[in-house]
Structure 1
Amino acid sequence: MADRSFLDWPFFETRHRELSAALEDWCAAHLPVDHGDVDAACRGLVAALGQAGFLRHSGAAEGEALDVRSLCLIRETLARHDPLADFAFAMQGLGMGAVSLFGTPGQREWLDRTRTGRAISAFALTEPGAGSDVASTATLAERTPGGWRLTGEKTYISNGGIADIYVIFARTGEAPGARGLSAFLMPADCAGLSVAERIEVIAPHPLARLKLDGVVLPDAALIGRPGEGFKIAMSVLDVFRPTVGAAALGMARRALDEALARVHRPRAGGGALADHQIVQGHLADMAVRVDAAALLVYRAAWTKDMGAPRVTREAAMAKLYATEAAQEVIDAALQLHGGDGVRHGTAVEALYRDIRALRIYEGASDVQRVVIARSVLG
């Protein structure tokens, strides 16, 4: 059983502890799921999480704010039990984050569907030539009578190919660079939208390259105002970057649990690995990294929930440290398993593959370092 004493920290309220306990019980009964058909697994997870009521936390009801501590607790718990379940939950939140924060009443009808598991959402920002450099976005949105015409390409889009609704970012040209982007709500059945490629990665989940060949959207699809796309994207990432750290934290806790179980196992020659001081040293380092990551993640979440308009520095620190630390904790856990650590199908082997992408998506680690450095220098 993973350490849950952190729930007594002053970051949390009674409702957070009750949410954590309810989700823990649900996870024990329903996770992990069969990953054989990843698309089907994700559809099933979204439906199940919606039916259980947990997806209501993925978006904000009208007039309310997202509770980032709840988002982080959910992602940490799901990731500890089954990283694919974390992915399914996270994309419902990230995918519709722009609508939660900036959407009109009409656009929020989609949010009602994603928060109940009746629709799957996606966040379409990355392009072949614009990953961490959002200002280089090339997808073009041109004015038409009563709407917009979008042409371009997006890649590494999570839920690409199974999403019902996309939030997509395109260049509308109000100013050069980041100031000339806008955000749009795009249903998956739009004419001109196609899945050009399904992308296979080391920890499989639905991922695709999308092609937009003259997709026509009405004016009502515009989220916010023209030229506010970069601000919208960064506001969404401000909320969801700490939750990436939370997911990494959940994986690190699972790895530490697996390592503890392994080193207590009796050995043929007598004693156990846990008897050796060098092993104890590794476990100590792992435990420190887990707690330090938790403090940074929940500081960022608490700060946002307390009303801070932006938590860019705190979010960057949480994502950077938690994802990098989790990679180290999982690597140490695998090492303590010896040959069994690299055997396909073991928990630590799966975690080793699952953690790697978290150091890249929603702003790679080096991007977070730049964000933090600018804050410090400023």
Structure 2
Amino acid sequence: MADQSFLTWPFFEDHHRDLAAALEQWAAANLGGIDHSDTDAACRDLVRMLGASGFAAYSGAEDGKLDVRSLCLIRETLARYDGLADFAFAMQGLGTGAISLLGSPEQKAEWLPLTRTGKAISAFALTEPGSGSDVASNTMTAIRDGNDYILNGEKTWISNGGLADVYTVFARTGEALGAKGMSAFIVPANATGFDVVERLETIAPHPLATLRFSDCRIPASTLIGEPGQGFKIAMSVLDVFRSTVAAAALGFARRALDEALTRVTARKVQGAPLFDLQMVQGHIADMALDVDAAALLVYRAAWTKDSGAPRVTREAAMAKLFATDQAQKIIDKAVQLHGGDGVKSGETVEKLYREIRALRIYEGASDVQRVVIARQALSNHQG
């Protein structure tokens, strides 16, 4: 049983503690035997299950106010039980984040009731083949043609690519150079001129794909916000969901610590538990310390956003950088403490080892977060 004492911290209100307890009970009852042999089928089932249970409702907000602490608690708990369950929930939120935050009443009414109940799967299409973290250099275009926009270009490494029913797509509309010339659009999966051209395989299987838009015509009513606001919209969405990536890493780290504790208390070395070795105790202490430090950063960022801060770029960057990097180290220690069993295919710590690596890359790689933090520190110093 993972440590739950952090729920007494002043970051949380009673409804957060109630949510954590309900989700813990649901996850224990439902996530123990998820079949991952067919990733697409598993994701569809998980989205449906999360919708039926009511937990997917937290992924969207018709009033434009996402509860980031709830999002983080859900991602941490799901990640602790099943990485694909965390993925399924996270993409429901990220995929419709722009609609929740800045969509029109009509856009929210059309899509959020479907995604929040698990009846539709969503995706966030920002990354392009020639640009990863440098979003301002994206080249995909959206040209106005009467009452429509015509999309041309490619997106890649898109989570839920080929699986989603609706995509939030960012394209250059040309109001200005760089970041100020992008806009955001809602593109249904059945749009003419939209194709999934490649499915991408990764070390921890998830539905990922490269998308192509070839004279893809969509109504102008699918524009989210105003023309030229796309970069701002994308950053607003990431400002919310970057903290939740850190929460997922925290969930992986907690599970690794639990697995390590089970291992070192059950495994005998010369007739005594492995835990009796002082060096092993040192590893466990470091792991526990890093888990708590990561949790403090994660829930500080979430609490700050929920308390009304317009942006939490610095706090979210610190949380994501620290939680993901430390989770990688914690999981590596857990693998080491498992010895040969730690690298045996299918073992929990082996799966965690593959799951954690991508979190240090997507939604802003670790080195990008360092740049963000350093620039903010300089700005505060000069200001």
For normalisation by structure 2, the TM-score amounts to: 0.98
Matched, 1:83 2:83: yes
SS of structure 2 residue aligned to 1:156? strand
The 1-side partners of 2:131 and 2:225 are apart by 22
Q: For residues 334-360 of structure 1, what are the alpha-carbon distances to aligned partners after superposition, in whole Å with 9 as ceiling and x for unaligned?
A: 000001000000000000000000000
Cα 1:29–1:131 shift into 2, 3 Å: same
1:3-22 equivalences in 2 (<5 Å)? 3-22=3-22
Question: Displacement of 1:143 after TM fit?
Answer: 1.0
- Asked if the contact 2:64/2:100 (under 8 Å) is kept, the reply is no
Q: Which amino acid aligns with 1:143?
A: R
One-letter amino acid matched to 1:127: E
RMSD of the TM alignment (CA)? 0.7
Aligned to 2:123, the other structure's residue is in SS state strand
Question: For 1:111 and 1:181, how far apart are their aligned partners in 2?
Answer: 24
State the 1:95 CA deviation: 0.3
Partner of 1:269 in structure 2?
270
- Paired residue type of 1:19: L
SS in structure 2 opposite 1:196? strand
My pick for the range that moved more, 209-218 or 262-271, is: 262-271
> After the TM superposition, which residues 200-279 of structure 1 pair with which residues of structure 2 at under 5 Å, given as runs?
200-267=201-268, 269-279=270-280
Q: Which amino acid aligns with 2:203?
A: I
Q: Which residue of 2 aligns with 1:352?
A: 353
Change (3 A) 1:231 1:257: same
1:71 alignment partner in structure 2 = 71
SS in 2 for 1:185: strand
Amino acid at match of 1:325: Q
Q: Distance in 1 between matches of 2:373 and 2:216?
A: 38
Write the distance in 1 (CA, Å) between the matches of 2:347 and 2:204.
Answer: 14
Shift of 1:57: 0.5
Counterpart for residue 176 of structure 2: 175
Q: Distance in 2 between matches of 1:155 and 1:266?
A: 45
Deviation at 1:182, TM superposition (A): 0.3
| Equivalent residue runs for 1:49-64 within 5 Å | 49-61=50-62, 63-64=63-64
Q: How many positions carry a matched residue from both structures?
A: 377
Q: Give me the whole-angstrom Cα distance separating, in 2, the residues matched to 1:44 and 1:21.
A: 23
Residue matched to 1:318: 319
Say whether the 8 Å CA contact 2:193–2:214 is kept in structure 1.
yes
- The answer to whether the Cα contact below 8 Å between 2:135 and 2:179 also exists between their aligned partners in 1 is yes
Cα distance change of structure 1 residues 197 and 266 upon mapping to structure 2, 3 Å threshold? closer
Note if 1:29 corresponds to 2:33.
no
- Measured after TM superposition, the shift of residue 272 of structure 1 is 1.1
1:64 is displaced (CA, Å) by 4.9
Number of the residue aligned with 2:96? 96
What CA distance in whole angstroms lies between the structure 1 residues aligned with 2:231 and 2:316? 17
User: CA shift at 1:52, angstroms?
Assistant: 0.2
Instruction: State which drifts further: 25-34 or 354-363.
Output: 25-34
Q: Which residue of 1 aligns with 2:145?
A: 144
The change in CA–CA distance for 1:270 and 1:281 in structure 2 (over 3 A counts) is same
Distance apart, 1:105 and its partner CA = 1.3
Aligned counterparts of 1:87 and 1:241: Cα–Cα separation in 2: 14
- Unpaired segments of 5 or more residues in structure 1? none
- Quote the residue 1:39 is aligned against: 40
CA distance in 2, matches of 1:107, 1:64: 12
Provide the residue aligned with 2:341 in structure 1.
Answer: 340
Letter in 2 for 1:149: I
1:111 deviates by: 1.3
**What whole-Å deviation, never above 9, does each CA across 1:184-238 have from its counterpart, x for those lacking one?**
0000000000010000000001000001001101110000000000000000000
Mapping 1:297-312, distance limit 5 Å: 297-312=298-313
* Whole-Å separation in 2 of the counterparts to 1:180 and 1:147: 18
Q: Secondary structure at the match of 2:272?
A: coil
Contact 2:64 2:101 in 1 (8 A): no
Structure 2 gap segments, 5+ residues each: none
Q: Distance in 2 between matches of 1:195 and 1:304?
A: 35
Q: CA deviation at 1:269?
A: 2.3
What residue identity is the alignment partner of 2:292? D
* Cα distance in structure 1, aligned partners of 2:375 and 2:236: 17
Q: Please give the alpha-carbon distance, in whole angstroms, between the structure 2 residues aligned to 1:367 and 1:169.
A: 20
Measure, in 2, the Cα distance between the counterparts of 1:171 and 1:267.
Answer: 61
Distance 1:45 1:260 in 2: 29
| Inter-partner Cα distance in structure 2 for 1:113 and 1:104 | 16
C-alpha separation in 2, matches of 1:309 and 1:111: 23
Contact residue 143 and residue 151 of structure 2 kept, 8 A: yes
1:266: how far off? 4.2
Give the Cα–Cα distance (whole angstroms) in 1 for the partners of residues 150 and 376 of structure 2: 38
Aligned partner of 1:371 in structure 2 is 372
| Paired amino acid for 1:329 | I
